[in-house]
Structure 1
Amino acid sequence: MTTHACNGSFTIIVFASSIIINSGSNFSPEFSFSFPLISILAASISMNCIDRFGRKPILCTCFTMITVAMTCIGTVVLIQHHGGTVPFWIPLTAMMMAVAGHAAGPLAVAYVVLSEMFNFQVRAKLMGFNVSYTWFMNFIQLFIFAPISDSLGLYTAFYIYAVFNILAMLFSLVILPETKGKSIEEIEEHLKKKYNLKN
């Protein structure tokens, strides 16, 4: 859940207006009001595809998509920091890509996977804890964004987010079990075998 909460997309949503202004775009900062619509559309597409493709492929694809978007935004800011110019549509497209990837992957699919991995006796408490932890990590992410941006440069913050997304993609690919069509017992047995765990 740490990589879910610290992938940078929430920062883009909160600081969209200033990112748009800093990108040198003459595009209206009110463009960020389209992010909820993008999120709804992306989450709807993801939920319609989740049983066809599985949870891991969607998560890996979305984390990769967010990584590309964060790297793109960081590179655009770095180019502008050194006096270069970039077409205004590149950072805007990357921001939309990050928001869509977040809504389609970690924001929606992570909770599906968690609900499928735990039995009903502990599910409510664990889901409550996960939601609280995610909001805490979002707070930390927003709290440290300005100091990192001010001291190391705005581009550094986006490169850090890209690294978080690479880690999240690797975690989803290597460690996270595929829960599609499996019972809790089958998932538990898979984890026991994979990590040589005892009862």
Structure 2
Amino acid sequence: MQNKTTLWEFMTNSDYRMAIFIMLGIKTLQQLSGEAAIDAYMQPIIASTGSTISEETSSIIFGIVQLPGALLAGYLVDKMGRKPLLIASATGCAIALFAEGTYFYFQDVLETDVSSISWLPTTGIAVFVFMINVGIVTLPYVLLGELFATNIKGIGVSTFTLYGASLAFLVSKFFKPLANAWGEYTVFWIFGCICVLGIIFVLTVLPETKGKSFSEIQAILKRKTTKKDDVETKDTGKPQRSPPPYTA
């Protein structure tokens, strides 16, 4: 805490580059998966499906399933690890979103009789709400605490909270216009594709921080940053930098 820092240093210091890149990806997944829009338009979505379950009852169901999802995340985060839990959460959300979009496609485009699967819209959103609370909604705050040092943590949390809130506003703002223009099935499929891209991002970029000390996490991030810089240097034809010596 004696090493006070500024927002400018946070944005420009290469020591924070990989952590910022990781958090940008995780917060983008968190908000572009559609959680804010589905939460805001939950009752109109259910009403437009002709579900046998009323939109009021559906809202109660969605509110109830959030709690066990969040409790399960707290129980599993140190047992499964951050990466497996995020991947499981994103996978469950993707399946639910693609199923929801498929229902709207059959109902609105193919005009097929969907009375036999009228349970699907409520079930799909309930699964989405549960699975998103298992990892995508909760784990970014864990990672914020693990990837940034104490002296920069306040600026990091504020920056990414603002970034996430901005994305949530945009998703909520443009959900209805896009649904009216392209169909609700398209928007749900876009959210599902974001979850799939998030799985790839987590697999390839996010380091596993379970059971690691802050210094160990920082060493992993520095190795990733150094490797990226060396690849960029090789591409430009300039002399490669040697990685800095590791000190305990």
TM-score, normalization by structure 2: 0.77
Task: State the shift of 1:34 in Å.
Answer: 2.8
Q: Which residue of the partner structure matches residue 44 of structure 1?
A: 71
**Counterpart AA for 1:83:** E
> Larger deviation: 154-163 or 184-193?
184-193
Determine if contact 2:31/2:167 at 8 Å carries over to the other structure: yes
Q: Which residues in structure 2 correspond to 1:91-102 (within 5 Å)?
A: 91-102=121-132
Pair member with larger Rg: 2
Q: Which residue of the partner structure matches residue 159 of structure 1?
A: 189
Determine if contact 1:13/1:35 at 8 Å carries over to the other structure: no
Q: Which residue of the partner structure matches residue 77 of structure 1?
A: 104
TM-score, normalization by structure 1: 0.95
Q: Which residues in structure 2 correspond to 1:122-161 (within 5 Å)?
A: 122-161=152-191
For structure 2, the residue ranges without an aligned partner over 5 or more in a row are 1-26, 230-242
Residues 115 and 85 (structure 1), Cα distance of their counterparts in 2 relative to 1, 3 Å cut: farther
Looking at structure 2, the residues matched to 61 and 138 of structure 1 have their Cα atoms a distance apart, in angstroms, of 22
Task: State the shift of 1:109 in Å.
Answer: 1.1
Work out the number of aligned pairs and report it: 199
> Larger deviation: 119-128 or 51-60?
119-128
**Counterpart AA for 1:168:** G
Looking at structure 2, the residues matched to 84 and 184 of structure 1 have their Cα atoms a distance apart, in angstroms, of 55
**Percent of aligned pairs sharing the same letter:** 30
Output the aligned Cα RMSD.
1.4
1:146-185 Cα offsets, whole Å, 9 max, x none, are 1111111111100110111111111111101111111222
Q: Which residue of the partner structure matches residue 22 of structure 1?
A: 48
Looking at structure 2, the residues matched to 77 and 21 of structure 1 have their Cα atoms a distance apart, in angstroms, of 12
What SS does structure 1 have at the residue aligned with 2:209?
Answer: coil
For structure 1, the residue ranges without an aligned partner over 5 or more in a row are none
Of 13, 26, 35, 1:9 maps to 35
**Counterpart AA for 2:171:** Q
Q: Which residue of the partner structure matches residue 95 of structure 2?
A: 68
Looking at structure 1, the residues matched to 65 and 91 of structure 2 have their Cα atoms a distance apart, in angstroms, of 18
> Larger deviation: 148-157 or 185-194?
185-194
Of 53, 56, 60, 2:80 maps to 53
Looking at structure 2, the residues matched to 167 and 119 of structure 1 have their Cα atoms a distance apart, in angstroms, of 28
Q: Which residue of the partner structure matches residue 33 of structure 1?
A: 60
Task: State the shift of 1:54 in Å.
Answer: 0.3
Looking at structure 2, the residues matched to 21 and 85 of structure 1 have their Cα atoms a distance apart, in angstroms, of 16
1:106-144 Cα offsets, whole Å, 9 max, x none, are 111111112111111111221122112111111000111
Looking at structure 2, the residues matched to 178 and 46 of structure 1 have their Cα atoms a distance apart, in angstroms, of 16
Residues 10 and 85 (structure 1), Cα distance of their counterparts in 2 relative to 1, 3 Å cut: farther
What SS does structure 2 have at the residue aligned with 1:53?
Answer: coil
1:104 and 2:134 are equivalent in the alignment: yes
Task: State the shift of 1:191 in Å.
Answer: 2.1
Looking at structure 2, the residues matched to 26 and 93 of structure 1 have their Cα atoms a distance apart, in angstroms, of 12
1:11-42 Cα offsets, whole Å, 9 max, x none, are 22211111111112131111213323211110
**Counterpart AA for 1:72:** A
Q: Which residue of the partner structure matches residue 208 of structure 2?
A: 178
